[in-house]
Amino acid sequence: MTPPEGPRLEDRFGFEVYPKRNVSIVNGRGALLWDAAGHEYIDCAAGVGVASVGHGNRAVADAIALQSRKLITCPGIFYNDIRGRLMAKLVSLSPRGLNRVFLCNSGTEAMEAALKFARLTTGKHGFVSAMRGFHGRTLGALSATFRLRDEFEPLVPGHRFVPFNNLKKMEEAVDRDTAAVILEIVQGEGGVRPAEVSYLKQVRRFCGDNGILLIIDEVQTGFARTGKMFACEHADVSPDMITLAKAIAGGVPMGAVLCADQIGPAAGKHGSTFGGNPLACAAALATIDYIEAHDLAGESRRKGRLFRDLLEQPRPAPVREIRQVGLMIGIELKSRAKPVIEALAEKGVLALPAGPTVVRLLPPLVITRKQIRKAARIIRETICESCPVGAGS
């Protein structure tokens, strides 16, 4: 049987960097996706946390269509109305003290910019990040990332790693050349592991007392994913920079760095050809307006609790722990996650890994309660069928 055109063409012409699954997605609406054969899936991946306002969102699509007929691109050397509106909106939503915005195209670009801004601001070159942390795949961002490094070394020097939620190790790792500490509020790729509120407050105080910048990576947690517009609001912590991407523009590629007034200046020292283009800015404004109008932060809190309760009652024997912040859920198994994720796709639920033993759920925030109940039932059944009971206990 001839495979569908999409897979056939990608296999023939694509330079492969992703381990492909045998699913060809061609359509989507809300939290549902359909493949080329017409099979329906409940999407608990959302493009790795991108499609928070759902697939085929009419408000975002209309904003893109309208802007595409007016102006698609405008370099940063010129002013632009829609770009200015987005910057003002982002600052209005940001934790106190973050009053400037740099716009780019992805999370890894946002981290690259933050690293450069930190060096420019402090005149120092060192960085301290957390074990299990993930900050991107370009060489600078990868240098701040705990894994996936070995085949690309030597990377950018000056990066050190310390255990997450361990202030003493953080204090021991910094030195006179430390420009910034880089942390996620919830480690997404690292297994959906939340930072402790007391730890975040202590790190903020320590960095401030020692002239070290604090960079918070909210690429995966930003824009209501955790039940707040930004996850650092859970701890009432204001960093010196926040990196953003994924859900910012409803699926259109965009990244951003929110900066405190003391960051920079960097005029003529950094830039992005496509960063802040009017099309992406229009999509981002429509996405943020939709998040606010439909209280998706509140929905994330409520639906996340429902999802967790359904998964926990009772907890399947092969599950070691369930970690949940809003609609960001990690199911840690006593055996490997890959067979469960593959079996889930066959049963119509798309999920993600977060390390070798964690099934990660990042559904669109518009997922319905009926869809959550169905997905939770399928996930529980699949875990029990696919995992050896008590494995690794």
Q: Which pTM value belongs to this model?
A: 0.96
Q: CB within 8 A of 385, min separation 6: which ones?
A: 343
Q: State mean pLDDT over 110-131.
A: 98
Position 199 pLDDT exceeds 80: yes
Residue 389 is predicted with a pLDDT of: 61
Q: State mean pLDDT over 326-349.
A: 97
Confidence of residue 7 (pLDDT cuts 50, 70, 90): confident
Q: How many CA atoms lie within 13 A of 333 on its CB side?
A: 27
Higher pLDDT, 295 or 393: 295
Higher pLDDT, 18 or 221: 221
Q: State mean pLDDT over 66-70.
A: 98
371-381 residue pLDDT tens: 999 999 999 99
Distance from C-alpha of 190 to C-alpha of 170, rounded to nearest angstrom? 18
Pairs from 263-271 (Cβ < 8 Å, separation ≥ 24): 263/100, 263/117, 263/118, 263/121, 263/213, 264/100, 264/117, 264/120, 264/121, 265/120, 266/116, 266/117, 266/120, 269/116, 269/120, 270/102, 270/113, 270/116, 270/117, 271/76
Backbone angles phi, psi at 129, to 5 degrees: -125, 175
Q: State mean pLDDT over 183-206.
A: 98
Position 390 pLDDT exceeds 60: no
Position 90 pLDDT exceeds 50: yes
CATH class assigned to 59-293: alpha beta
Position 25 pLDDT exceeds 90: yes
Token representation of residue 292: 């606010």
Confidence of residue 388 (pLDDT cuts 50, 70, 90): confident
Residue 2 is predicted with a pLDDT of: 54
Kind and range of the H or E element at 48? helix 46-49
Q: State mean pLDDT over 131-158.
A: 95
Distance from C-alpha of 359 to C-alpha of 60, rounded to nearest angstrom? 29
Position 1 pLDDT exceeds 90: no
Position 393 pLDDT exceeds 50: no
297-334 residue pLDDT tens: 999 999 999 999 999 989 999 999 999 999 999 999 99
**Helix-helix angle 278-293:58-68, to 10 degrees:** 150
- Judge whether 164 and 133 are in contact, CB under 8 Å: yes
Q: State mean pLDDT over 94-117.
A: 98
Residue 392 is predicted with a pLDDT of: 46
List 181's β-bridge partners, or say none.
128, 214
Give the CATH fold of the 295-387 domain.
Answer: Aspartate Aminotransferase, domain 1 (3.90.1150)
37-51 residue pLDDT tens: 999 999 999 999 999
Position 295 pLDDT exceeds 60: yes
Confidence of residue 128 (pLDDT cuts 50, 70, 90): very high
Phi-psi region of 164 (alpha: psi -120 to 50; beta: other; left: phi over 0): beta
Of the chain, the percentage scoring pLDDT greater than 70 comes to 98
Residue 8 is predicted with a pLDDT of: 80
Token representation of residue 294: 């439909």
Residues of the chain with CATH 3.40.640.10: 59-293
Residues of the chain with CATH 3.90.1150.10: 295-387
Residue 220 is predicted with a pLDDT of: 98
Q: CB within 8 A of 295, min separation 6: which ones?
A: none
